Structure 1
Amino acid sequence: MEQSNVINAYCERVGLGFWDEPLNAVTNLAFVIAGLWVWMRGRGVIPVQVLAAVLIAIGIGSGLWHTLARPWTGAADVLPIVIYVLAYVYFANRYYWGMSVPWAAGGTVAFFPYAAATIPLFSMVPGIGGSAAYMPVPLLIAIYAVLLRKRLPEVARGLGIGVAILTVSLLMRILDEPICDAFPIGTHFLWHVLNAIMLGWMAEVLRRHLAGGGRGR
């Protein structure tokens, strides 16, 4: 493989080899572990098991990105994350709001113009950089949490916890480059660990809701 195709995008990578991002690579196991945990917790609950499968795919795709670091592995890294977000928006619309399938799907499609409108705004915030693409997600979760606080208070609290974890996780992603000189291994690996915890928790919020009588088996 042409070493010139290797993408050096993170503080930890100082070479062009397969294991030149060891922490960034190994911590993708957190997604696989979270996915397996969610799968076991959500046995027989199809929406939860869908999220579990995508969680495992996130770990695999991100693992490829942080080892091979080729352009195509960037797609393998991002695509499962996008799928997870869209799947969760659909399930939230369907089971938290009780929408019909067409309305839930339509609300999910609406995520694209929402993201297109908000990402440029976040890009204007100094220091956020490439993490601006992720910022619409905690904002949307926070909006859902506020709107659901009376209808489904337990779900709203769970979503609020998810926002808190994701906010810290994004901070670790943002800080990776700025503190690289002082902390050569970077902080991106903490983005992996915290993000895996957050995504697993979000699936657990859905599982608890469905187990408590929400529709969705």
Structure 2
Amino acid sequence: MELTRAIDAYCERIDAGYWAEPVNAVTNAAFLLAAVVMWHRSAGLPLARLLAVILGMIGLGSYLFHTHAQVWSAIADVVPILGFILVYIFAINRDVWGFGTWGALGLTALFFPYAALTVPVFQLLPIGASAGYAPVPLLILIYAVLLRRREPALARGFVIGALILIASLAARTLDEPLCALIPMGTHFGWHILNAIMLGWMIEVFLRHRARQGG
């Protein structure tokens, strides 16, 4: 693998310079802001605090990718996102469904075959690289449906989160198609909406834990 191979994936980037994507780079501050807010709100809940830390890492990884734009920084961009997904699924499996640690880990591991099955389906749609993320809002909605009677407030929170994520995926997908109309692209909307969505998902978990008495 050529870790230093240059990647030109977004409308805003017109050369290989460090600040070739200033809007895409700077808007990663939204992740850091959301991480700080959720860190303070999640005192006493280790999993929520871990999610807040990973949220901050998402911002840093994405910043590195939109400034360096190489294979190694692309890895730094996607690994924290995967980490957030897995930790969140584990938290819901353990603290909402009530599975023990090992049961929750086993169910969380099912995300990988789930993604392997659903990503090719989404690749049939004209959404480009966003197909790799599309299974996530679907999974959130599946959890919402399954929890709608047992935890209706949590289910509503999941629906809101899924809708925000779908909107952010739209911004990501439309970046190149709208490049001629919007020279800086629309990828920055993916950052801002994603930061809101991830912070909201932590908030949904915190509210559930508060209703359960901690």
| Distance across 1 between alignment mates of 2:137 and 2:167 | 11
Displacement after TM superposition at 1:187 (Å)? 0.3
Matched, 1:12 2:12: yes
- Counterpart-to-counterpart distance in 2, 1:157 and 1:5: 43
2:168 maps to 1:169: yes
**Cα distance change, pair 129–214 in 1 and its aligned pair in 2 (3 A):** farther
CA deviations on 1:123-152 (whole Å, 9 max, x unpaired) are 011x21111000110000000001101000
Structure 2 partner of 1:87: 87
Partner residue in 2 for 1:182: 181
Percent identity, please. 54
Q: In 2, Cα distance between the equivalents of 1:141 and 1:123? A: 19
Partner amino acid for 1:62?
A: S
Contact 1:95 / 1:214 at 8 angstroms: preserved in 2?
no
- The one-letter amino acid paired with 2:65 is W
Q: Which residue is 2:103 aligned to?
A: 103
Q: Name 1:114's counterpart in structure 2.
A: 114
Whole-Å separation in 2 of the counterparts to 1:214 and 1:133: 37
Unpaired runs of 5+ residues, structure 1, are: none
Counterparts of 2:101 and 2:16, CA distance in 1: 47
What does residue 156 of structure 2 align with?
157
Q: In 2 relative to 1, CA 75–180 (structure 1 residues): closer, same or farther, beyond 3 Å?
A: same
TM-score w.r.t. the length of structure 1 is 0.95
1:27-106 to structure 2, matched below 5 A, reads 27-106=27-106
Tell whether 2:140 aligns with 1:133.
Answer: no
Q: Verify: 1:197 aligned to 2:196, yes or no.
A: yes
Q: Residue by residue, what CA displacement relative to the aligned partner does 1:47-92 show, whole Å, maximum 9, x if unpaired? A: 1101000000000000000001111000000000000000001001
Per-residue deviation, 1:182: 1.2
RMSD, matched Cα: 1.1
Inter-partner Cα distance in structure 2 for 1:128 and 1:214: 42
Structure 1 residue ranges (4+ consecutive) displaced by more than 3 angstroms after TM superposition: none
Q: Which runs of 5+ in 2 are unaligned?
A: none
Inter-partner Cα distance in structure 2 for 1:69 and 1:142: 32
Letter in 1 for 2:190: W
- How far apart in 1 are the matches of 2:92 and 2:117? 21
Write the letter of the residue equivalent to 1:165: I
Q: CA deviation at 1:213?
A: 1.5
Q: Are residue 26 (structure 1) and residue 26 (structure 2) matched?
A: yes
Question: Could you tell me how far apart the structure 1 residues matched to 2:102 and 2:16 are?
Answer: 47
Q: CA deviation at 1:214?
A: 5.9
Distance 2:62 2:182 in 1: 22
Distance in 2 separating the partners of 1:153 and 1:180 = 41
Q: How far has the Cα of 1:6 moved from its partner?
A: 2.7
